[in-house]
Structure 1
Amino acid sequence: MAETGPAWIDPEIGESLRGFPDFDFSLDKLPAMRSGSMFEPQSAPDIERFELTTDDVALSVLRPVESAAEPPVLFWMHGGGMVIGNRHMDDARLIEWCRWLGCVCVSVEYRLAPESPYPAPLDDCEAGLRFVVEHADELEINPQQVGIAGRSAGGALAASLAMRWRDNANAPLAFQYLEYPMLDDRGLTASSRLEGLPVWTRESNAFGWRSYLGDRYRTEDVPGDAAPARATELSGLPSTFIGVGTADCLRDESINFAARLCRSGVPTELHVYAGAVHGFDMFADTAVARTAARDSADWLARQFGRRTVV
């Protein structure tokens, strides 16, 4: 029997989706979508924040007011299908992680497609990460405990950055955390062909990849650090977390990538959440979102050698 996406959406999420806006990504709608996705910085009394502008990129740095000497770092790449969003859009999540994990969170402002296609966004992420590592003393962080993370398009950039970092013989990263990541432009999996899914449709996914890859889209001229599922060598990558929902068009490529990482000897933890749609963390009051938040915080705490209670 063929899969039908909306039929197996978690009931709580399904209720939350009533009246939810239709995210139909297209070139003519992009200006309006961007105007609604330029988030303002958030603050918290127990979290210090400051903004850095390097020669190449802008970075937001969040750290607990009371932090240990040389805390670990989570380097974050936001989502938005490669075409919308900014470095402040996940501040609420990053503030929570700073608080729970005792870490510093750094969010990078990368250029957006289609105006700036591959490799520009990835170049920005790499430049931001390199700045953090090379200025560890000034930032008062531990350069030996830097992990990278992202969701959706940010998950694609995180996976791509991990490959670049490994290939350039840099000091090993502590981990890569990939939340429902975009990994494959080819649309070969069963889930990538599902119709009628909310939040992130197969059509929006195609638009995001086409914007990012330009004329390379779905050709043989796509390197592994552009679409991570195409990479032929996954050994030597850092410990990995992948989380995705069953009602997400990115489900199968996430599962396949996790399996390949395991076969390549990479410590990998995969969580597949029944009935969860793309971006289901937006529905924070649902049971499945709360479970996923605990799983993520627990795994990240273990990477930092800490314990946390969420």
Structure 2
Amino acid sequence: MKVSRKMVNKQLRFRGMLLSRLVQKPTEAKFIESMQNSKKQMDKTFKGKDVNGLRCSEVWVDRKDGSKIRVRIYKPLHLEKAVPGVLWIHGGGYAQGVPEMSGKMYQKLIETSDCVIVAPDYRLAIDAPYPAAFDDCYEVLLWMKNHAKKLDIRDDQLMVGGESAGGSLTAALTLYARDKGEVNIAFQMPLYPMIDDRMLTASARENNAYVWNSDTNRWAWKLYLGERFGKNVPAYAAPARATNYSNLPPTVTFVGDIEPFRDETIQYVENLKQAGVSVDFAMYKGAYHGFDIIHPNAEISKAATQFLMSSFKHASEHLFVEQKD
């Protein structure tokens, strides 16, 4: 899908053009180098940074091999009762990012409806391919369930959300949690999720949009999947490959209409609906990937954020699940 400047929302154009210089037609080596440099910069800028107005803390959760996962926890300043627990998984093409960079999202969620955010610093693809990130996020989800009382959260209101690669990990976790039966998820928020490694849809092919395009998408998938790339990829790595969408939690998602993930998100929503899953979905005209983060004050970004928060508030007030031992 070829994207012209005129197709981009006017308020989003300038920032998109600036960022486009970083992503246009990178080689595989250049992509990896840029992800490594970005990780260093994000560590320097965000790591350990608290969010004003929230109680922020850090814990370490054990992996099965004895190593540990760094996890950030964000709470309202005052809690009088147990509240929903939200596992929030940051984006970054599986290859960059830290949980602290989503601080504004945590503020919005907690302002909308009291909740506790648990944000894992999962292993990135530049260090370890699938299933490292997936395993880390699932370990932290189980930890949330088993430490619900200590975290001041309700184990019948465990939710999962994330942007981009974090959205894909969200969708993958809900599939796995359903299949494994160890923890029940009440609600999921996979925003413009990176869920299909095959890149066969019209929006994923030859997409030259700002911020994230077909080239960056291909290199990111190759890095994440490692030796599995181009082979028999499991649905827990690329959730668009799932064939059974029944008994998944109610869902909210949105996507821009000029980004590579447009069509796979639309298809994911349709698959959920056909399986009887309740879905709130919106698509935003002229929006490239991550538009709500890149220009949060644009009117289109404010509309997307309000849409998400309205759905989240309803879920926080009305959605509960029975947890099994």
Which letter does structure 2 place at the counterpart of 1:15? F
Contact 1:242 1:269 in 2 (8 A): yes
Q: What is the one-letter code of the residue matched to 2:61?
A: T
- Partner of residue 3, structure 2: 4
List per-residue Cα deviations over 1:230-287 (Å, max 9, x = no partner).
Answer: 0111111100111100111110000011001100111111110111110101201111
Contact 2:53 2:76 in 1 (8 A): yes
Deviation digits for residues 51-87 of structure 1, max 9, x if unmatched? Answer: 0112231211101012231111111000000101111
**1:178-193 paired onto structure 2 within 5 Å:** 178-193=190-205
1:172 aligns with 2:177: no
Q: 1:21 to 1:253 in 2, by over 3 A?
A: closer
Correspondence 1:106-145 to 2 at 5 A:
106-145=118-157
Q: Taking structure 2 as the reference length, what is the TM-score of the superposition?
A: 0.89
CA distance in 2, matches of 1:216, 1:13: 36
User: How far off is 1:169 after superposition?
Assistant: 1.1
User: Residue 237 of structure 1 aligns with which residue?
Assistant: 248
CA deviations on 1:147-174 (whole Å, 9 max, x unpaired) are: 0001000001010011110001134211
**Residue 30 (structure 1) aligns with:** 35
Displacement of 1:214 in angstroms is 1.2
Distance 2:20 2:4 in 1: 18
Task: State the distance in 2 between where 1:124 and 1:194 align.
Answer: 33
1:184-223 matches, cutoff 5 A: 184-219=196-231, 221-223=232-234
Residue aligning to 2:169: 157
Q: Give the SS at the match of 1:113.
A: coil
Amino acid at match of 1:224: A
Worse-matched range after superposition: 247-256 or 12-21: 12-21
- Matches of 1:5 and 1:238 in 2, distance apart? 37
Cα distance change on mapping 1:207 and 1:3 into 2, 3 Å: closer
Helix, strand or coil: the match of 1:48?
strand
The AA in structure 1 aligned to 2:53 is D
The answer to whether the Cα contact below 8 Å between 1:42 and 1:92 also exists between their aligned partners in 2 is no
Alpha-carbon offset, residue 14 of structure 1: 0.8
User: Which residue of 1 is the match for residue 12 of structure 2?
Assistant: 13
Farther off after superposition, 129-138 or 8-17: 8-17
Classify 1:297/1:68 alpha carbon distance in 2 versus 1 (closer, same or farther; 3 Å): farther
Over aligned residues, Cα RMSD in angstroms?
1.6
| Maintained 8 Å contact 1:148/1:173 | yes
How many Å separate the matches in 2 of 1:250 and 1:156?
11
Does the aligned pair in 2 maintain the 1:23–1:200 contact within 8 Å? no
In 2, Cα distance between equivalents of 1:131 and 1:142:
13
Letter in 2 for 1:11: K
Q: Which residue of 2 aligns with 1:258?
A: 269
* Stretch moving more, 136-145 or 176-185: 136-145
C-alpha displacement at 1:196, in angstroms? 2.1
Deviation at 1:18, TM superposition (A): 4.2
Which runs of no fewer than 5 residues in structure 2 stay unpaired? 64-68, 319-325
User: Is the alpha carbon distance of 1:143 and 1:193 closer, same or farther for their aligned partners in structure 2, counting shifts above 3 Å?
Assistant: same
Partner of 2:14: helix, strand, or coil?
helix
Question: Which letter does structure 1 place at the counterpart of 2:12?
Answer: I
- Whichever residue aligns with residue 248 of structure 1, its letter is E
Shift of 1:215: 2.2
Q: How many residues align?
A: 304
Measured in 2, the distance between the counterparts of 1:185 and 1:117 equals 14
SS of residue paired to 1:102: coil
Of 22, 40, 53 in structure 2, the residue corresponding to residue 46 of structure 1 is 53
Amino acid at match of 1:35: K
Provide the C-alpha distance between the structure 1 equivalents of 2:48 and 2:207, rounded to a whole number of angstroms. 35
Give the Cα separation in 2 of the matches to 1:113 and 1:250.
20
Which position in structure 2 is the counterpart of 1:93? Answer: 105
Q: Structure 1: which amino acid aligns with 2:41?
A: G
Identity of aligned residues (%): 31
Question: Whole-Å Cα distance in 1 between the matches of residues 125 and 203 of structure 2?
Answer: 24
